[in-house]
Chains A and B, each alone.
Chain A
Amino acid sequence: MTGIARNGATVGLFAAVAAVFTWPLLADPGRIVVARQFDVHGMLWLTSVAREVGPDLRVALAAWPEGQSVAQADSLLVALAAWLLPAVRPLTWASLLAFGGPVVSAWAAERFAARALGAAWPWSLLAGLAFGFSGLAATALLEGHLYMLADPWLPLLGWVAVVGFGGEGRAWHGLAIAVCWTLCLLTSAYVGICATVLLVVVAVNAAFERSVQWRPVLVGAIGILPVGIAYAYLLTLSRARELPTDLAWSSRLVVESGSATLSDLVGWTRGVDLQSHSLCPTLGFTAPALALFGLRVLDRKGGSRIWMILAGIAVVLALGPSLRLQRAESGLPWVLYPLVESRFGAWFRFPARVLPLAYLGLGAVGAVVATRIAARRLRWALPLLTFGLVDALLVTGAPFRTLRVPMEVPSAYVDLPGEGAILELVPEFQGWASDLGHDVLDHTCTYQRVHGRPLLNACLNPLLPQGPLVSVGRWLRFALLSPDTEDAAIVSSRLAALGVGAVAFHPDLFPRGLREEIGDALVRALGEPVAQSRDAGDNVRIYRVQGDVGDPSAILAALRKEGW
């Protein structure tokens, strides 16, 4: 089989697996998302406003009138791609990343196993299945962090690092290392951490073996340093780099919620999707078993052991501050325990996201071991590919856990009269119900692609309980429910002065009794709704605020003066 045919078969096979992995996305791309959790909405919003980002990295369309900083964005690479390709619709981005992401990631890992470690085709497919269709990939798909699915950069970095830090390294390898590391960092901060650990371990190993070439190291360092410094500066601009702790959630509990447990590494349960934000980064069994038995099969100088060490480091880190069998336990103190009590805990809130390093290492070494077995016992090796497929589809459980969530916009938002910002009037959800609040508000951010008007709610990193919607919304609810008729009388003029042109009321979210009371008060204060609908899954009434909308900077100054 020629190289082109082999690569074609590889991509075709991974595309078929991706179709099952993300099912039913392929049945209705561009209309639905398959994520269970709310994080996908932030990414959809980011791709829809990428061209609106100002020089101060703020978008005026959210958190009106302050604006939303995109320094809080999870993936700057997605923002950059959306800025470069404005013709691609947000839902198309979501479908492309969800379906195409695992394919390119798996293909890159397959090539890494073949070229860097010498795995033969089709056994190198095991590396692709382990990396591109991993438990963490299923988690990313279900959480909605779709950018994490498209990560061919880490395997490519591994490839150029092995060659570049080896005896045949050239200066251009250093340049390639810097480019791949930058793309990892821009894909996600956690992929950037994986890339950094990978580089350090491979470089140290090369130094011990006295095979390191200093020219690629120097060129790579010159390329990496300015990017790293610029990224660190960007993080300092972001207010989101604090752990959202409160009386119920200590910093340890917050970091534990983003860490893996031992049972997570084995298999999923339905409770994970209900209570743990779908975080279940299963390791699979085929690649780890092959890699572990490979310690007896592979010789020391094959370069495989360094990838086992990297996988071990990633698994240890992914378990976070406590070694727990399952989520309900407090567990034993683990390696990150001292870190979470310090301010650095905020920079490592989701330790489980370093697991791509483990998938890459175990998958590639497993592929090499399968190659060795096949060389002498082909019949024994053949079922291993089916085992890898079972790990990817059944052990992760991805096809059984996806939802079919339509992303239509309620008709009330279409052709909305008037101008000015829209205030989404919803209750404040707290504690365990806060996920529902995020889901509701993040959904309203995706409505913006139809009405195009500013929103008072933040649309990125909504975990922080701050922003104009909290203070203005709280005031509005009190004013509407106040027995003092003067409070209700000033609602319209006050909202207009704040630049609010419409109030979107979602009655079904409020407790019974209160929803009728607020609805009646809105009619008294603002008149009958100008639009209402019960389609697209949302019962919404929109009230128009009469009055001229002022200049945003003047409104912001007035808000600060009044202490909002």
Chain B
Amino acid sequence: MRLLPRTRLLPLYLAGICLGTLATPARVEANQRIRFQVADDADAMLTDLRVEMVRLGEVRVVRLVDDGSVDGDMPWDGVYVGEDAGDYARYVDVRLIARESGGPDQVLVAAVVNTDDENLVDLGWRIVRPPDASLKARRAAVAWPGFRMAAVEGLHLIAAFGWGFLVIAYVGMAVRARRT
């Protein structure tokens, strides 16, 4: 069985791979979606987690949930998700506010963040509890819903290592096959 077509058809074959990738949708959405993903790495008993944001001068409140009711959220996985859609904004003023069971509101983050993409922006944080016992949130690269962030952030690197071993082994065998 041939792995690839004959050499003269190779450019067409490779161009086909490229065109296949181009066929993925790249339309402009009517609204810019800003998706918040917050991983509760502190295992806090959160009764409320919300984002208060100022988007183009307008104050909005986004409740983050982990019960699967928001599109893209996997229930009870420890990653709270919420989404806001509206006119395109290049930056938003964000406050991440959490309340533990029986406790007061705690502002975990207060910052202006970039939201450059006009279709979908993912903003991620990781809630941790330092030794002083008050909750904090650290900015993190985006989580895929349903997974803890640390594992997902390294996923591409792990895949690259796997690919690298495959290529090196293949080239080694090819060189050996040439010699024999």
Contact = CB atoms under 8 A, between A and B. Distances in A.
Interface string A251-279: 00000000000010011111101110000
A507 B57 contact: yes
Interface in B145-165: 152-154, 156-157, 159-161, 163-164
A17 B139 CA distance: 34
B22 interface: yes
Interface stretch (A179-187, A388-396, A469-477): A388-396
A428 interface: no
A12 B18 CA distance: 11
B3 A382 contact: yes
Contacts of A376: 178
A285 interface: yes
B175 A267 contact: no
Interface in B130-180: 139-142, 152-154, 156-157, 159-161, 163-164, 167-168, 170-175, 177-178
Contacts of B172: 289, 293
A16 B15 contact: yes
Interface string B3-31: 11001101100110111011010101000
B3 A508 contact: no
Contact of A509 (B56, B91, B141, B153): B91
Contacts of B3: 379, 382-383
B161 A266 contact: yes
B87 A535 contact: yes
Interface residues of B, number: 60
B151 to A, nearest CB: 11
A274 B171 CA distance: 34
Contacts of A224: none
A405 B120 CA distance: 11
Contacts of B153: 269-271
Contacts of A391: 167
B8 A1 contact: yes
Chain A CB within 10 A, most for which of B15, B92, B119 = B15
Interface stretch (B41-49, B64-72, B110-118): B110-118
Interface string B98-122: 0000000000001111101111000
Nearest to B57: A539
Given A16-B18, A376-B178, A380-B178, A404 B159 contact: no
A405 B116 contact: yes
Given A285-B167, A380-B178, A23 B15 contact: no
Given A36-B116, A380-B174, A508-B112, 16 more contacts: A13-B11, A16-B15, A23-B21, A270-B156, A271-B141, A293-B171, A376-B178, A377-B178, A385-B4, A391-B167, A397-B156, A406-B88, A508-B56, A537-B118, A538-B89, A539-B89
10 contacts: A23-B24, A268-B156, A286-B167, A373-B174, A380-B174, A385-B4, A386-B14, A387-B167, A394-B163, A537-B91
Interface of B: 2-4, 7-8, 10-11, 14-15, 17-19, 21-22, 24, 26, 28, 54, 56-57, 87-93, 110-114, 116-119, 139-142, 152-154, 156-157, 159-161, 163-164, 167-168, 170-175, 177-178
